[in-house]
Amino acid sequence: MLGNNIRQMSDAELSTAIKALIEDREPESLRLDYKETLDISKDSGKKELAKDVSSFANEQGGILIYGVPEARDGELPRPKPLVECGMEIDRSLPESIERILISTVQPPLHALTIRVVDLPEIAPKQLLIIQHPESYWKPHMIEGYGVRRYYRRGNFQAVPMNEREVEAAYLAREATRTHAREFFGTALFGPAYGIQIRAVACPVLSGRFKDRMLEPGFRDWLDENRPTGPSAPREGEWIPFLDGWRFVPVLKGSISGKQYEIRVFHNGAVCLNLDPDEHSLESGTLLLDALHRDLLNLFARYSATVFDGLSISGAVAVRFWLFHAQGLKGTVNTERHREIRYIQQQIAENGTALVGRRAYRRIPIFQPYFTRARSTAQTTRTPTRNS
């Protein structure tokens, strides 16, 4: 069965997966539906399209494959042989489908994906794929073409939702709004001592992946999908903690003795705690482009890797924190960066750095970082300058 997000699949990957579904005669189910054709020239066809797509969004999500005739195998509808599949698809059809769904389904379908699939065995005919995951905005109502109703996916078709089901869907929508907010307030993100950057991405649609994360194969998946650096996977190891897994790198720093830490929670959320020392000056200035690189690779891209691996789709709530940042500044000046790197290298090697008529050196600070007063936070990162 295809994953929750075909948007990330290449054309070749999607074609291979769809071909396998048909050749294996995968039956229709709660999350899969075959349609022999699609006719949106009439209101009845537009209404049927809106019913089918919104019914998946109102349940567990699913995929519609157009251009596949069905045959009954006992009680289960299964696809006919591949040679009998395919339909003529106009180049403008995906855009027309999108317009119909935007104007008909309320609230809008936020994660709609429409793809056209080419298979050499049925050329010049093609297949049309429409996918929508379970929606955090459900229930979605059809308003148009003489219809004002909610639909959900039954075993093999879209069926009207009754009052109890609609009410439950609205309660679930409200629960998604509070899920991330409660998570940000109660989760174990780790301590925040000294200057530290924290970034957290939490799926709005709540989920529980604890059982999956405790399976022996999940640790192997984490090892195969480690956070990446500028050119290669990062060195480190995954360690379980109460609410998920922690990636502990080799690089030294102030985050429990490491330069950074990544946490993957049982609800699919991802947290990065980062020591910005590598991207800072002795004068308390952050190198923003280097910081952006790490936030992109260590947080944004890795969060996407985790969400894809756990088949999480839909909206994500993201928050950033910058702890103990009094007096910090930022720069994106290239010349200043080169000067900064030179100063850091010279101080590391010789204890001092000379730039023109200015001399820089590190000021030793012996106060415990957890009792440091606000007035000294700037002093710890301000060099002495002698003319």
For 52, 204, 383, the CA distances from 131, given in Å and listed in that order, are 10, 19, 57
**What whole-number percentage of the chain has pLDDT above 90?**
50
Tell me: the pLDDT tens digits for 187-243?
A: 999 888 888 899 999 988 777 788 889 888 899 999 999 887 666 778 899 999 999
Higher pLDDT, 309 or 377: 309
For the purposes of burial, counting CB atoms within 10 Å of the CB of 229, is it exposed (0-12), middle (13-18) or buried (19 or more)?
Answer: middle
Tell me: the pLDDT tens digits for 88-107?
A: 999 999 999 999 999 999 99
Q: What is the pLDDT of residue 80?
A: 94
Question: Is a pLDDT exceeding 90 seen at residue 166?
Answer: yes
Whole-number Å distance between alpha carbons of 196 and 277: 9
Tell me: the pLDDT tens digits for 24-37?
A: 999 999 999 999 99
Q: What is the pLDDT of residue 52?
A: 96
Going from the N-terminus, what domains does the chain have, and what CATH number goes with each? Answer: 6-161 (3.30.950.30), 174-329 (no CATH), 334-381 (no CATH)
Q: What is the pLDDT of residue 363?
A: 53
Residue 157 backbone phi and psi in degrees, to 5: -165, 170
Residue type, 225: N
Tell me: the pLDDT tens digits for 347-363?
A: 878 878 887 777 777 65
Tell me: the pLDDT tens digits for 312-341?
A: 877 788 999 988 877 777 777 656 666 766
**What whole-number percentage of the chain has pLDDT above 70?**
88
Query: pTM (2 decimals)?
Result: 0.63
* Whole-number average pLDDT of the chain: 84
Helices 43-57 and 93-104: angle between axes, nearest 10 degrees:
70
